[in-house]
Amino acid sequence: MRNIFVLLTTLMLSPAIKADEGMWLPFLISDQQIEMMQQKGLEIPFESIYSHSAPSLKDAVVSLDDGACTGEFISDKGLLLTNHHCGYNEIQQHSTLQHNYLENGFWAKSLEQELPNPGKTATLLIEAHDVTQRIQEAAKNLMGAERQQAIDSICEIVEVEAFEKSKLEATVKSFFYGNTYILFLTETYADVRLVGTPPSSIGKFGGDTDNWMWPRHTGDFSFFRVYCAPDGSPAEYSPENIPFTPKMHLKINTQGYTKGDFTMTMGYPGYTQRYLTSHGVQEIQDVINPIVAEVRGIKQAIWADAMQSSPAINIKYAAKYSESSNYWKYAIGQNQALEKLSVIEQREQTEASFNNWIQKDSVLLNQYGKTLSIIEASYMLGNKLTLAETITDETMLQGAELVNFALETSSLFMELMEADEDEAASSASNKDELTNTIQSLYKDYDATLDQQVFEAMLQFYLEEVPESLRPPVEELVGKKYVNDLSGFVKSLYKQTAFTSADKVMALFSNPDEEALFADPAIVFSYQVLSYLYQMMDIHDKLLLQFDDSQRQLIKGYMEQNKGRAYYPDANSTMRLSFGSVGDYEPKDGVKYKYLTTLSGIIEKENQELADFQVPQQLKIIFENKDYGPYQLTDGQMPVCFLTSNDITGGNSGSPVLNGKGQLIGVAFDGNWEAMTSDLAYESRLQKCICVDIRYVLLIVDKLAGAHNLIEEMDVVTE
């Protein structure tokens, strides 16, 4: 229901799961799936892919930033490979007009030159255990809020017990919408330093134009290094930290691949909804995606104008624009694909089949007869709430930055005020956090630009949110400005302290709760937030019956299709997918080959368009055919390739492995024709777009001259 505010961890079910479909939990994978992998070309025993006790490939794969991306160790000194766009925020944070790493790239030639990144993390999965029986026993015969409270309570107990026993981070996660529970034991390393990145003309070649498109020619990669305390344990950044030694790192294969070759990915896909009912898909298509596309389009147009006119603003807003535009284009593409691929109609057929099945048995009818009708009613009753919540989120919480600044710093301020005066260390820690947060927020902020965005977002919010689900306009902006929103915005930005770090720090230098909450940005933000919380509370009550029915529906589908292999929706836990290298035909008369080369980059070059500028050094490499050992047998230089691996957001940076478990590429995107992938796997069209590891090595070797990194890697030729 609430796609933005409630992450529904649902079951992935398909009428006919194809060989390449599936984001499988490696610790629960069946013999059937292992046998299928072997038939497709897996040459190594599965125990070398995943093992609790012995080093395995899973020890070489990490979750970056709590599931935002994936990375893989490619040396025994903690060298980590991921996507350029996964490191884009850090690259931007280190960039200045004097040292513009976005434009020129960055390469550390020694450990001392590697750049720290406060807040960036790398998390390793150590063990995973099925605790379903214990969790479900605690919630037996319970429903709704009572059931959820019981589950939350027992999960906390399980996590505490696991931590006390292992001294590892312990988290219980739900799968199959509450039909399965898994305990994960992990370790998180918080000292992750930037090692190397190509310029954006390579790492983002094609930009928004080529995003989600094939053929692709993007060198979407960057390097980081994980550091630890001298004893090997996780630690915050310190000059005394040393490079982390992983239990396993990946070997790099430069022999490449051919059409039909087996491929495997391991990573941390973030979020799929592959068994939403037809009503859920309809809500995404009709309500959520159109709002996302329209609001972000307005905001991005304002940003783009300012970025084009000012190099300083361009650096400040590069990462923000990239993050926003990625989901903006995704929402547009997903809606086009939903309609073209008739996803809603397919779901309706599945639901009709389920209803026909339960009608034939009175026991089944009694158990499952009301599930779909309750789910449908929940969507109907919550439709206006979803509309209002999505608009509020996109315009107020993700629109102008002023609102978030006010909310985040006021929250930290309250923590500071509530700290026990006798706990000086705690109080000092809160003050440091407040200072660091303020400095971080305002480092890449322009108040004049944000004011333009705020006015556009406020206009949309007031026009599109139903009056009953937002503050009255006269209360929100004051009677004086009911017909003069521009005047209200100018007054707000003139009076508030939240337009600069210096003003905010001055406000907090002598803590005054009354003065803080009288600030007009705080007053405005809390009015909006108050209505949002009211909507969410109503929605939560609707979800109580919805959750129970969704869990029952999934259980019913599994009973209806006994003997079929199932995998759960993505929820930022480690998954394995397998497929093969291959072409695809997006439409009649068109066939896309599985491989692109450096020739395509030169063909696309357009120095008048920012997305298609080519570095002079790369053109020289092309002209001289200076490809070293990385070229194909026909003399071409590979850049990107396609596989049928099943991935989604969070898989960015995932290693693409051959049948021997060796690294041949890095996953970074999906294709436009299958933008329904978070909701449904399209076997004919769905492709994983990968950067060829040989192109990565070419850039590191020939363009960057970072031979120290090449020497550190474990490169094999067979």
Annotated catalytic residues are 85, 220, 652
Structure tokens at 628: 């070293």
Strand 715-716, strand 252-253: pairing: parallel
Structure tokens at 13: 């079910």
Instruction: Give the amino acid at 304.
Output: A
Bridge partners of 266, per DSSP, are 576
DSSP conformation letters of 362-379: HHHHHHHTTHHHHHHHHH
Residue (of 715, 711, 714, 705) closest to 105 by Cα position:
705
Kindly state the DSSP code that residue 570 receives in the 8-state scheme. Answer: P
Burial (Cβ within 10 Å: 0-12, 13-18, ≥19) of residue 675: buried
Structure tokens at 398: 């993700």
Q: How far apart are the first and last CA of the chain?
A: 50
Q: What angle do CA 213, 65, 61 make, to 5 degrees?
A: 80
Q: CA neighbours within 13 Å on the CB side: how many for 241?
A: 26
Q: Is the peptide bond before 215 cis (omega within 30 degrees of 0)?
A: yes
- Please state the length of the chain: 718
Give rounded-to-5 percent helix, strand, coil for the chain.
50, 15, 35
Q: Are 381 and 544 in contact (CB under 8 A)?
A: no
CB atoms within 10 A of CB 145: 13
Q: Are 207 and 214 in contact (CB under 8 A)?
A: no
Axis crossing angle, helix 343-359 with helix 520-560, rounded to the nearest 10: 50
CB atoms within 10 A of CB 122: 26
As a whole number of angstroms, the distance between CA 66 and CA 306 comes to: 32
Q: Are 718 and 659 in contact (CB under 8 A)?
A: no
Q: Are 256 and 632 in contact (CB under 8 A)?
A: yes
Give kind and range of the element (H or E) at residue 19. none
As a whole number of angstroms, the distance between CA 254 and CA 698 comes to: 11
CB atoms within 10 A of CB 590: 8
Strand 106-107, strand 169-175: pairing: unpaired
Cβ neighbours of residue 48 closer than 8 Å, sequence gap 6 or more: 56, 57, 661
Sign of CA dihedral 98, 104, 110, 116: positive
